[in-house]
Amino acid sequence: MQDAAEGPRPEGEPGAFSRLLGVFFSPASTFESIARKPTIAVPIVLMAVWALAGGLFVAQRLDVDAMVQKQIAAAEKQGQTVSEDQIKPRMEFFIKKVSPFFGPVYWIVVVFLVPGIYHGLSALLGKSGKYMAVVSAYAYVQMVQLLKSLLTVVIALPRSAIDPEDMTRLLRSNVGAFVDPETTPAALRAVLGSLDVFDFWCLALGILALTRVTRLRAGAAAGVVLGVWVVYVLGAAGLAALGSAFGA
């Protein structure tokens, strides 16, 4: 099957669903095919739909009461007095009605933004390929993150209530899942949470993909992918530290 909006598929090229499997079982040939004929509709729509479905599932199981108590405790640390009745209705509305839609929006932004950075850095090095090929390869690489999300939901299924701080700890695929959240600084938890088996898998695939859809050699592709990842991790750690400083 092919992406309907992207024209006829060249003879012998695998379709979108074959590429979904190829990312896991034959990534090199899959990315070479993507370089010849980029396709984006299926992985982007699949990820967006799952982001919405997963967001709706998680939103219904988040422990709102625990979140409210943490907000009250944070306010009290800043010398403010708030009641549960003031916080809970707004928090329930935001979590259950609004937050599930953040996932698809975030995904759509990221799937075009990150490849744009990759493409720009490749162009600076004089080795750029086609931007849409980079977008396509990146979108297919993220099927690894979809697998991670599926496994997390499976683990969460038996739970009636989930503390948001436990979400990244359910699958225990990252170092941060094994530290005490009460005694470990927020910035350090963010960094340790990024040391994840699935993230490393994506990084390895991303480097391979970039060597196939651009003219970058492996070392330069690794520098681009890992450099962007390090900036992201440091940014996440900084935001976590700010949130902790302000009692969020």
Give, in order, the Cα–Cα distances in Å from 239 to each of 132, 142, 152, 177. 31, 24, 24, 19
Q: What percent of the chain has pLDDT over 90?
A: 56
| CB neighbours of residue 51 within 10 Å | 22
pLDDT digits (tens, 9 = 90+) for 59-68: 888 777 777 7
pTM of the model: 0.86
Please give the Cα distance from 225 to 206 (Å, whole number).
7
The end-to-end CA distance of the chain, in Å, is 47
The number of C-alpha atoms within 13 Å of 132 and in the hemisphere containing its C-beta is 7
**Banded pLDDT at 11 (limits 50, 70, 90):** low
Given a cut of 50, whether residue 2 has pLDDT beyond it is: no
**Structure tokens of 34?**
């993507």
Residue type, 35: A
pLDDT of residue 114: 97
How far is Cα 20 from Cα 11, in angstroms, rounded to an integer? 19
Q: What is the pLDDT of residues 69-122, one digit of tens each?
A: 777 777 777 767 777 777 778 877 888 888 888 999 999 999 999 999 999 999
Least confident of 4-13, 38-47, 108-117: 4-13
Label residues 173-195 b or e (16+ Cβ within 10 Å = b): bbebbeeeeeeeebbebbbbbbe
Coil vs helix vs strand at 177? helix
Q: Name the helix (H) or strand (E) containing 6.
A: none
Q: How do residues 186-224 score in pLDDT, each as one tens digit? A: 899 999 999 999 999 999 999 999 999 999 999 999 999
Residue 10: the pLDDT is 52
204-222: b or e for each residue (b if 16 or more CB lie within 10 Å)?
Answer: ebbbbbbbbbbebeeebbb
